[in-house]
Each structure stands twice: as structure tokens, then as C-alpha cells.
Chains A and B, each alone.
Chain A
Amino acid sequence: MSVELVDYDEAVSRFDPVIGIEVHVELGTRTKMFDAAPQTFGAEPNTAVTPVSLGLPGALPVVNGTAVEYAIRIGLALNCRIAETCRFARKNYFYPDVPKNFQTSQYDEPIAFDGWIDVELEDGTVFRVDIERAHMEEDAGKNTHVGGSTGRIQGADHSLVDYNRAGIPLVEIVTRPITGAGERAPEVARAYVQTLRDIFRALEVSEARMERGNVRADVNVSLRPTPESPLGTRTETKNVNSFRSVERAVRYEIGRQAAVLDEGRAVTQETRHWHEDTGITTAGRIKSDAEDYRYFPEPDLVPVAPSREWVEAIRAALPELPAERRRRLQGEWGYSDPEMRDVINAGAVELIESTVAAGSSPAAARKWWMGELARTAKTQDVELAELAITPVQIGQLQQLVDAGRINDKLARQVLEGVLAGEGDPEQVVVARGLEVVSDDGPLLEAIDAALAAQPDIAEKIRSGNLGPVGAIIGSVMKATRGQADAGRVRELVLERVQG
């Protein structure tokens, strides 16, 4: 079904978008949330399950203490208050990937609530997002639809279920309605999810790999005529699993809802599905009222009451968070704001940090990664980190430059060699014979040859016109295949001619 969208700029000029985002993160614990089945990715189906993950009669869940600690870490990093006491609840619904016919979650008593996080957009604008809550729950199994033409649910004959993922600990983070972003709402949504991903990694609570579904976002979008109007009816687009898709899905919904409202119709409160391939959302089920889930306290699990001492110990042990770390590194490296922003947007912070640790100056590290290497990555259509060169090798390369053993021009050839798999910079220098000629002998030979070949230039220099010295230097560099130190050549030329 194709829908006539209102042009994006047009839509945001006449409507004020409000978004809300729910992010689920799978915690990287060794075992599941409520049982000791190992967490595995890509294992044979139904080989990482216990009676608890299968919801067999009589099986009793026990809370994974490490998962609770991770949830508290996340709550603290998001500036939340941590509940003095909280409990689990059963969210009842029937779906084959939920073997117990309920998901063990938290409802009225989340472990963390009332937080905020600052999100930095690509141009450096900082936008504060308020966090309503972060609660603990468990993941569902995985359905595969069989039959039908597309592997989708429509037209399928039957479905197959693998419960390996069922019971993996999740933390769900829910924002308050994000208002005031206006036309930048899609960007804010993307930056928010990206910020959370970076925080999960820094906290070491999850590998946070989007492509594996470790982090999944549901995006709520509604429109209202003006920022003063009451909130409009929202839709919730489920399982948007890349940063780019988060931005696109919000953008799409703004255009679609504007079209619906323009026709004088009402937006239907519903769940929508995101289609990565076509970049559109389609209607799913009508959103259930919360009461349909018939939440009630989980009788098999006693409350979680983290002592204040424990919470403070976790707070004290929190690692440096990405935003702080970026500020510290910018100070240490002496980069300007735009320089640092470019480095962040290129995903080069870690690379430069490691390069500096390997002996390069921050300025040189930035020059390599944001210059020559950025161009190479663009040509190869890969991320910087995927290039066949390591920060340590860049550090070694720069040390060769600093020691005067190679010049910038040679360094680029060495880089080329390393990227081509010819080994470390030192090996490439030796194998390709790229070292700067520091012995004056061969240089003088080349200079004499150049002067003899261009007598008119030699005469000019002799008569005190230093302008054409460059031409002689050029010839010498060419003769030595770039391996001469241009400064030294200049000195020698002048000595030769005038001396």
C-alpha cells in the first residue's frame, strides 16, 4: 500500500512533532535473567534452555544478581533515581515466543526512574532527553514463519520457535515525551539511541551490537498543530534496529501522519512495523490498553531492594562515560570544537586514542585518520576501523617520520604498503627501500647532476636569484625517488653553488 506523504519540510512547518523512544538492551551477562541457562548467540536452536526458560510447570525463577547490578549501572549512568525497593510483575499475553504466556517484567515499580541524558547532535547542539524509567525484564524467543512467499507472517503455514533467546536479561529504557525538537526530531531520535549504545558499551553491560539485535528501539511519534496544543495521537513503530532507521522511521511517520491529518482524518493509535527495504511503516495491531496485559506482582520472585551502600558502591565504580571522556580527550589533545566533532562523527575517537598511546602526537594522529585514511576508507566504502591498518601501525609510522627516517611523502607510500598487507611500517620501509637518504654523498651526486642538466638555473642561483632553487630540489627529489630530506637538499644546493 503506497501512501501519499506530506513533504517533510512542509509537515514540520505546520505540525510540531513529539517523539518518545523505548530502547531495549540485552545485558551481556553469562546467564539468563531468571535461570542459569548460558547466553549464547548463534547456538543450535533450543540448546540454551532450561525448564525455567521453557516455562515448564513447577520451574522456579531466581534473579540473576549481576543483571540487577547492570540495570543499576544503566540507571545511574542515565541520572536516574534507583528504587529503594521494586518488584517484578507478570505481563500476560499469548504469543508463541513467550513460553510462559507471560513476560516477567516490571510494571509499577521500575528499578530506575526520573533520569535524563544529554544528547549531542552532529553539529554540536546538545539536546536533553528526560528518562521516565528503566526497568528489568526478559527477552522472548524467536519465531520463524514457514511457508508463504516471503518468510513473513502473512501466508505462513506454521511457525517454528527457538527459545534460546527467551529469558535473556533486558533493560527497557523509556523516555518522557520529547518535545521542542521540531524539525530535528528525527536527528534527536537517532542521536539518543546512539548515545545509549555508547553508554552501554562504556558501562560494559552489553556488547550493544545493533546488527545482532542487542539494542532495539521502538519509536513513538505524534503530531500537534502547535507546541501549545495537547499531545496528538501517537503511533509506535516497533523494532527499528539501526541508527539510520530510527531517523528514517521518525521522518516517515511525521510525513505520513501529516497526510492523515491534512485529510481531516484521525491518526489511529496503533503499533506499526518498520520495513528496512522500502523505508516505510505499515499498520500492525491496534495498541492494547495496558490493562489488557493484566499485570500483577510476580509471586515467584521476592522484591529487589538494593541497599544504598550497594548503589553508592556501583556509582563509585562507574567508568568514565562517553561524553565526559570525549571532553577530557579533547582537552588533552588540544583539538578545536569543530575538529573534535569531525573526529567523533567519523568514529575515530578510539582510533586516535590508541594511535596516541602508540607514540604519535595527537595532531599527527588526527592528520592521518581524518586525512589519508579517511579518504582511503571512503574509496573502499568501509568504516575507518575496518581498514587493514591498526592504530599501533600508525603510531609506528609517525615515529619514523618524527625520527627523520622518512618524510611525509615517503610516509604515504609506507601507509600504502601497510594497507596492502606488506607488514608493519618498518618492514615496508626496508622492503621498499623507502628510507630518507641521509648520507650527503648520494645527494651531492644528484645535485651536481641536476645543476649540470640545468645550467641556466644554476647560473641564476649563482647570481643570487634563489627563486629557481625549488626546481633543482625537485629534480633531486625525483632522482632519489622522494627519499631525500628537502631541507637538507636546499642547504647542500646553496653550499654547492655559492660556497
Chain B
Amino acid sequence: MSSLSRDEVARVAGLARIDLSPEEVDRLVGELQVIVDSVARVSEVATPDVPATSHPLPMTNVFRDDVPEQPLSQADALAGAPATEDGKFLVPQILGEE
């Protein structure tokens, strides 16, 4: 049974852009460990002939016809934006590329 480290939790939090205090990391290591252990128990019980379930609904092929509907107006589309310019969403400087 695998055990979670503080580093793993901090790394995943970083990937998800969640700012955790050291205390929160400690608490989550414990809570997430319970989940990891539970999943591991399920895996022990499941035999290879039990297919993994990714969707609880017994449905497939829910499709929409390719027919356009009225989109939002530009004003409505931008209504929730903290800042806009020229009909576009204004976002802070993007770092980390190039």
C-alpha cells in the first residue's frame, strides 16, 4: 500500500494552483491517505474480470445534432470579466512561456 508524502501533496496542490499552508498540507496528507488506502482496498477485491467503472450512468452515445443556437452577446459573454478591452477578456501578463 503506497503512502503519500508531504512533497507529493504540495506538488499536486501546486499543479492545481491551490495555496496550502504547511498545516493544511499536514492535515491533507492524513485525509488523502485514507482515500488512497480505501481505493487500494477496493483494488484488492476487484478481480481482472471486473471492468473499471468511470461513469456510474448506464448510458452511452448521448449526442447533440449539429445545429447552431443563439450564442451569448458579446456584452453578456464579458459581463463576468474583471477587465476587458476591445471585446476581449483582459488577463494579466502570462509568464512561464518562452
**CB-CB < 8 A to B64: which residues of A?**
31, 36, 62-65
Contact B72 A49 (CB under 8 A): yes
**CB-CB < 8 A to A65: which residues of B?**
63-66
Q: Contacts A63-B62, A158-B91, A303-B60: A50 and B98 contacting too (C-beta < 8 A)?
A: no
CB distance from B17 to the nearest CB of A (A): 6
Give the secondary structure class of A's interface: loop
Closest B residue to A85 by beta carbon equals B60
As a 0/1 sequence over residues 61 to 93 of chain B, the CB contacts with chain A under 8 angstroms (1 = contact) are 111111111011110011010000111111111
Please tell me the size bucket of the interface on B. 35 or more
Q: Contacts A30-B67, A45-B87, A158-B93: A303 and B72 contacting too (C-beta < 8 A)?
A: no
**CB-CB < 8 A to A146: which residues of B?**
85
> How far, in angstroms, from A292 to B72 measured CA to CA in the complex?
33
CB distance from A167 to the nearest CB of B (A): 11
**CB-CB < 8 A to B62: which residues of A?**
62-63, 301-302
**CB-CB < 8 A to B54: which residues of A?**
87, 297, 303
Q: Contacts A44-B74, A285-B96, A297-B54: A159 and B63 contacting too (C-beta < 8 A)?
A: no
Chain B CB within 8 A of A47 CB:
yes
As a 0/1 sequence over residues 11 to 55 of chain B, the CB contacts with chain A under 8 angstroms (1 = contact) are 010011100000000000000000000000000000000000011
**CB-CB < 8 A to A51: which residues of B?**
72
**CB-CB < 8 A to B16: which residues of A?**
92, 294
> How far, in angstroms, from A157 to B12 measured CA to CA in the complex?
29
Chain B CB within 8 A of A143 CB:
yes
CB distance from A166 to the nearest CB of B (A): 11
Contact A50 B72 (CB under 8 A): yes
Contact B80 A56 (CB under 8 A): yes
**CB-CB < 8 A to A85: which residues of B?**
60
**CB-CB < 8 A to A258: which residues of B?**
none
**CB-CB < 8 A to B59: which residues of A?**
302
Chain A CB within 8 A of B97 CB:
yes
Chain A CB within 8 A of B1 CB:
no
Contact A156 B71 (CB under 8 A): no
> How far, in angstroms, from A304 to B60 measured CA to CA in the complex?
6
> How far, in angstroms, from A171 to B85 measured CA to CA in the complex?
32
Contact B90 A158 (CB under 8 A): yes
Contact B61 A305 (CB under 8 A): yes
CB distance from A351 to the nearest CB of B (A): 32
Chain B CB within 8 A of A399 CB:
no
As a 0/1 sequence over residues 146 to 181 of chain A, the CB contacts with chain B under 8 angstroms (1 = contact) are 100000111011111111000000000000000000
Contact A294 B77 (CB under 8 A): no
**CB-CB < 8 A to A213: which residues of B?**
none
Contact B67 A96 (CB under 8 A): no
Contact A30 B68 (CB under 8 A): yes
CB distance from A323 to the nearest CB of B (A): 29
CB distance from B8 to the nearest CB of A (A): 11
Contact A284 B98 (CB under 8 A): yes
**CB-CB < 8 A to A46: which residues of B?**
72, 74, 77-78, 87-89
> How far, in angstroms, from A292 to B78 measured CA to CA in the complex?
31
**CB-CB < 8 A to A304: which residues of B?**
60-61
Chain B CB within 8 A of A414 CB:
no
**CB-CB < 8 A to A162: which residues of B?**
87-89
CB distance from B40 to the nearest CB of A (A): 17
Contact A159 B60 (CB under 8 A): no
> How far, in angstroms, from A31 to B62 measured CA to CA in the complex?
16
CB distance from A10 to the nearest CB of B (A): 30
Contact B89 A62 (CB under 8 A): no
Contact B93 A157 (CB under 8 A): yes
Q: In the complex, which of the residues A44, A87, A284, A299 contacts B87, with contact meaning CB atoms closer than 8 Å?
A: A44
> How far, in angstroms, from A374 to B52 measured CA to CA in the complex?
61
Contact A305 B60 (CB under 8 A): yes
> How far, in angstroms, from A399 to B63 measured CA to CA in the complex?
52
CB distance from A359 to the nearest CB of B (A): 39
> How far, in angstroms, from A91 to B88 measured CA to CA in the complex?
25
**CB-CB < 8 A to A161: which residues of B?**
88-91
> How far, in angstroms, from A292 to B14 measured CA to CA in the complex?
10
Contact B80 A302 (CB under 8 A): no
> How far, in angstroms, from A123 to B85 measured CA to CA in the complex?
52
A:56-80 near B, CB below 8 Å = 56, 62-68
CB distance from A36 to the nearest CB of B (A): 4
CB distance from B41 to the nearest CB of A (A): 20
Return 18 A-B CB contacts under 8 Å, by A number.
A30-B66, A36-B69, A46-B87, A62-B62, A64-B66, A65-B66, A68-B63, A96-B94, A143-B94, A145-B94, A156-B94, A158-B92, A161-B88, A273-B98, A283-B98, A285-B98, A299-B55, A304-B60
Give residues in B with beta carbon < 8 Å to A.
12, 15-17, 54-55, 57, 59-69, 71-74, 77-78, 80, 85-94, 96-98
